[in-house]
Amino acid sequence: MAAMPPRADPPAEWWERLAARLIEGLVFGVFYYILFIALWGIFRTVGMSEALGERLPGVLAWLAAGLGYAGYDWRAHSRHSRTFGKAIMRIRLAPGDVPSRALLKRALVYPGPVMLMGIPVINLLAGMLLFGVGLLILIDKPLERGPHDRLAGTRVVKDLR
């Protein structure tokens, strides 16, 4: 009897991917606001707020939160092929043996622009990039891959294990 070819896992639905990112976004949003309040308090106390402008705490908080999110995304996908949002939604990254360098590029293309959100004017471009990536996921049929997935050679699939 001939061996059966391995069955490919079906791609994750767009709403599953969105829900996973929203779950993670809530956690990192809380981290951002705590960081922003702390930085704002520190800058105000030492008098840097007036010298450097009122936007600096927000810019630094977005930068730290964005770097943290991109780093977390890279590390989680490198170790477990999914983030905690993906685990909750029962989806994962395939294939599971993607080189760490490719996953770093993936993390910098999608969650990476979050670190630019605090900079005036650039925040609009970063938001448009994030929206565009999400839109491209909807358009790409049947695999539903965004530019970050194509760059890394990955796709997000339902976790049937």
pLDDT at 92 over 80: yes
Q: Give the model's pLDDT for residue 38.
A: 84
SS3 of the chain: helix, strand, coil, percent, to 5: 65, 5, 25
**Tokens of residue 59, six digits:** 């810019």
Task: Return the ∠ at Cα 134 (arms to 133 and 135), rounded to 5°.
Answer: 90
pTM for the whole thing? 0.80
Compute the Cα dihedral for 104, 109, 115, 116 and give only its sign.
Answer: positive
Residue 153 tokens, joined: 């050679």
The residue ranges of every structural domain in the chain are 14-158
- Of the candidates 125, 111, 131, the one whose C-alpha atom is nearest the C-alpha of residue 71 is 111
Note the residue count of the chain: 161
> How many CB atoms sit inside 10 A of residue 69's CB?
24
* pLDDT tens per residue across span 47-72: 665 655 667 777 788 888 888 888 99
